Each structure stands twice: as C-alpha cells, then as structure tokens.
A and B are shown apart, each in its own frame.
Chain A
Amino acid sequence: LAKTTQPISMDSYEGQEVNITCSHNNIATNDYITWYQQFPSQGPRFIIQGYKTKVTNEVASLFIPADRKSSTLSLPRVSLSDTAVYYCLVGPPGNTGKLIFGQGTTLQVKP
C-alpha cells in the first residue's frame, strides 16, 4: 500500500487559492488518488479522484505530475466554510479495505 504524507495543518485567508500537497513515493501502477473533506462530527465527503495529469470538478482541481509520486489538491478562492480536514488516499480500486485515512491536513481558513 502506498504510504501518504501530507502537512498536518495549513492556514489560509478567505478568497485565496489553497494547494495541499500529498506525497506518495511508492504509488503502484494501478493506484488511484482520492481526496476527501471532513467537517467536525460529520462523515467525510468525496471531493475528487484522479489517476494522472489534471482533474477538475466544480469543487476542486487535482494535479498529478507524470511520475505520480505526489499530488496537489487545489481549492480556488476558499471561504470560511472550507475549514475542514482534508484526506489524501492512495490505493487500487476494488478493495475498500485498503482505503486508509491518515491524519489528514487540517485547513483553517481565516477571515
């Protein structure tokens, strides 16, 4: 299983773009990269998933370089409501048991 490393915490201000980077040096060929967001006392919320290059949806963008050893979740123009824990998960589809939620990155958005 690919081990992931992401910053424990980050601070930002409203209106800024936030980039959270996740390192996964031993990512396997069939691994996908998935990001979740979690607010206190709520279940995680699926944000985005990708395999390579760039993926964009209405919430965020995911940038994956060619070597796939890292990925960056980009949140455009954050607001106070984006204050949450963000988890980077790496693993092969087909076995939810391999879904490992690490410490995540606690993003604090300030006014």
Chain B
Amino acid sequence: KAGVTQTPRYLIKTRGQQVTLSCSPISGHRSVSWYQQTPGQGLQFLFEYFSETQRNKGNFPGRFSGRQFSNSRSEMNVSTLELGDSALYLCASSSQLGSYEQYFGPGTRLTVT
C-alpha cells in the first residue's frame, strides 16, 4: 500500500503571501490530520478532518485552515504568511477518527522570508 504523500516537499514564500499544501492519505484512510513542527515548539496539532468535516482543531489562528475532499485528500492553507510560520508541515492519516495510530507523510518544508 502506498504511504501518505505530501506536495510540494519544499516551498519558499514571502511574508504576506498565502500557501496551499496538499496531502493524499493512505488508500482507505478517511481521517487526515495536520501538524506543524518547529525546533522551538515541537510537533503541534493543527486540525483533523474526517468525511470532509473538520472534527478536531488545535490552538492555531484562523489564518490556518484546511479542507478535505470526497476522496479523503486534504489541503491546508495558510494565509498572510508570517516569518514564524516557517516549519515542517506534516500530514497524517488513519483509518478511524481520533485514532492515535497515525501514518505520517514526509512533510512539506515551508520557509517564509
């Protein structure tokens, strides 16, 4: 079975721009979660989608949003980028909503200049 894929793998954006990241879960997995990882804050939960609906949300500002499509693929959007948004953004999929057994993708390395 193919693993979780994320595109693009690397991205450089300018402060104030917006960015969209994409995630394709493992086939059959309906839950997709997004995380932000930085050296200072570690790995932090952004949100989880299941059946095209956001089910859980972390403590991030409204500039961070996401959506999930009927084929379970998910996108994450960050608007009005700030320097502090530079991070590794990870997507994880699981077969059940709220499962702690998650399968992570390789991540998208976002650099904001």
A interface residues (Cβ-Cβ under 8 A, vs B):
32, 34, 41-46, 49, 87, 89, 91, 93-97, 99-103
Contact = CB atoms under 8 A, between A and B. Distances in A.
B45 A97 contact: yes
Given A41-B88, A46-B103, A95 B98 contact: yes
Contacts of A46: 101-103
Given A96-B45, A97-B48, A43 B98 contact: no
Nearest to B9: A41
B76 interface: no
Contact of A97 (B57, B91, B92, B101): B57
A1 B35 CA distance: 19
Contact of B45 (A41, A42, A93, A99): A99
Contacts of A91: 100
Given A41-B88, A41-B107, A96 B102 contact: yes
A100 B58 CA distance: 11
Given A94-B97, A102-B42, 7 more contacts: A41-B88, A42-B106, A44-B104, A46-B102, A96-B48, A99-B45, A100-B45
B interface majority secondary structure: strand
Interface of B: 4, 31, 33, 42-45, 48, 56-58, 88, 90-92, 94, 97-107, 109
Contacts of B48: 96-97
B42 A42 contact: no
A95 B56 contact: yes
A46 B4 CA distance: 13
A46 B94 CA distance: 11
A43 B33 contact: no
Contact of B58 (A43, A97, A103): A97
B100 A43 contact: no
